[in-house]
């Protein structure tokens, strides 16, 4: 019989938010990390755009920009969101990092801190304490991503937008690595480069997700050819990460929800990773300091701000009158309504729910 170990805090989730929550909690309490998967060097590539303050936060756990492959910073990006001609959009400063590398570095920090790691897919059952295989904990931080295993309700579009990322090594192209983004009739496309790789992301539904790469290249050539400047043919690129990209949020959990388990931002915000890591600190502070409601208040404020920003962004799109865009905008408007009024628009409820998209996707 396996002995059950008692912990103050259990963290469920093997992504950046879960790792940071475990590292922060270990400073104050006995903590265990529970994850269904471990980071791998072969994980599909995805390039994240993060604010410089997020890099500063990561240095608290010994992750220097150099260890994350960051060799340059960006003070702006290009956008053709409102008109066909791209314009330079300055900002405070960002860096581009590869998600698999970030996860590997954070996991190494977790191991170096001596935090116990249990590999299991926690089913989400909870009573007076949170219990898993060989462990129990008084508090739980749910960083399980969009699945939000401890939540009772998940508000998300009945037809989610999803994305796929295609990449190539930097040495194979003269394309510049700064962020570029353009709306398309069937969604939108963006480009970003890390120190070693550069790629194009496609987000939407229908042909963007299922079309052959040759047809996608023709589509981009017609609607946003400047994204392809300096890039090799799409057919020569390597398939990276896929996943759901549209807004959703969860509620009804006795755990502390952080990151995508609480509010999975539309990738248009480009701030999802930074906000998720900040969530982890708030969750730990709420538990350690006994400040009930701290995280819930933060979630309410973040939902309101992100929803407003996203509605304004969609309204400015030069393709905003297309059916796909109107459908998503209608979903966002429905989120402002009380829950009973959303029944015909939103897919929510307890348990694991399946959604049909145009290709099999994996939640980040």
Beta-carbon contacts of 9 under 8 Å, excluding residues fewer than 6 positions away, are 25, 29, 30, 31, 32, 137, 138, 139, 140, 141, 284, 287
Task: Give whole-number Cα distances, 335 to 321, 339, 342, 343, in Å.
Answer: 20, 8, 7, 11
Residue 220 in contact with residue 341, Cβ under 8 Å?
no
What phi-psi label fits residue 351: left (phi over 0), alpha (psi between -120 and 50 degrees) or beta?
A: left
pLDDT score recorded for residue 345: 47
Q: Is 39 exposed, middle or buried (0-12, 13-18, 19+ CB in 10 A)?
A: buried
What pLDDT was estimated at residue 2? 64
* Terminal-residue alpha carbon distance, the chain: 34
Residue stretches of the chain with pLDDT short of 50: 343-364
pLDDT of residue 210: 86
Distance from C-alpha of 154 to C-alpha of 64, rounded to nearest angstrom: 35
Residue 177 CA to its chain's centroid (Å): 21
Query: 135-142 and 238-244 as β-strands: parallel, antiparallel, unpaired?
Result: unpaired
Q: How many CB atoms lie within 10 A of CB 59?
A: 11
Task: State pTM to two decimals.
Answer: 0.90
pLDDT confidence of residue 209: 87
Locate the domains of the chain by residue range: 162-244
Q: Are 325 and 188 in contact (CB under 8 A)?
A: no
Backbone phi and psi for residue 341, each to the nearest 5 degrees, phi listed first: -80, -10
């Amino acid at each position: 019989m396996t002995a059950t170990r008692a912990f103050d805090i259990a963290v469920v989730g093997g992504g950046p938010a879960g790792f940071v929550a475990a590292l922060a909690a270990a400073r104050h309490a006995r903590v265990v990390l529970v994850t269904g998967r471990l980071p791998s060097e072969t994980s599909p590539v995805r390039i994240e755009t993060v604010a410089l303050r997020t890099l500063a936060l990561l240095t608290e756990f010994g992750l220097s920009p150099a260890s994350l492959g960051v060799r340059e910073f960006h003070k702006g990006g290009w956008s053709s969101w409102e008109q066909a001609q791209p314009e330079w959009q300055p900002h405070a400063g960002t860096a581009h990092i590869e998600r698999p590398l970030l996860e590997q570095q954070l996991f190494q920090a977790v191991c170096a801190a001596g935090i116990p790691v249990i590999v299991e897919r926690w089913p989400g059952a909870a009573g007076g304490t949170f219990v898993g295989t060989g462990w129990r904990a008084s508090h739980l931080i749910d960083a399980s991503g969009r699945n939000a295993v401890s939540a009772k309700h998940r508000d998300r579009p009945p037809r989610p937008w999803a994305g796929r990322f295609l990449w190539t090594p930097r040495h194979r192209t003269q394309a510049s690595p700064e962020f570029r983004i353009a709306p398309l009739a069937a969604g939108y496309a963006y480009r970003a480069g890390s120190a070693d790789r550069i790629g194009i992301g496609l987000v939407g539904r229908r042909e963007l997700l299922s079309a052959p790469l040759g047809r996608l290249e023709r589509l981009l050539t017609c609607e946003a050819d400047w994204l392809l400047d300096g890039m090799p043919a799409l057919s020569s690129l390597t398939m990276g990460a896929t996943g759901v990209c549209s807004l959703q949020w969860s509620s009804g959990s006795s755990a502390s929800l952080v990151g995508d388990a609480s509010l999975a931002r539309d990738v248009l915000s480009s701030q999802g990773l930074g906000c998720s890591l900040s969530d982890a600190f708030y969750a730990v502070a709420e538990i350690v300091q006994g400040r009930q409601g701290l995280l819930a208040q933060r979630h309410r404020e973040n939902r309101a701000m992100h929803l407003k920003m996203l509605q304004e962004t969609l309204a400015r799109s030069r393709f905003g009158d297309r059916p796909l865009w109107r459908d998503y905008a209608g979903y966002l408007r429905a989120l402002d309504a009380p829950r009973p009024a959303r029944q015909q628009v939103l897919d929510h409820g307890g348990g694991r729910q399946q959604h049909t998209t145009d290709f099999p996707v994996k939640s980040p």
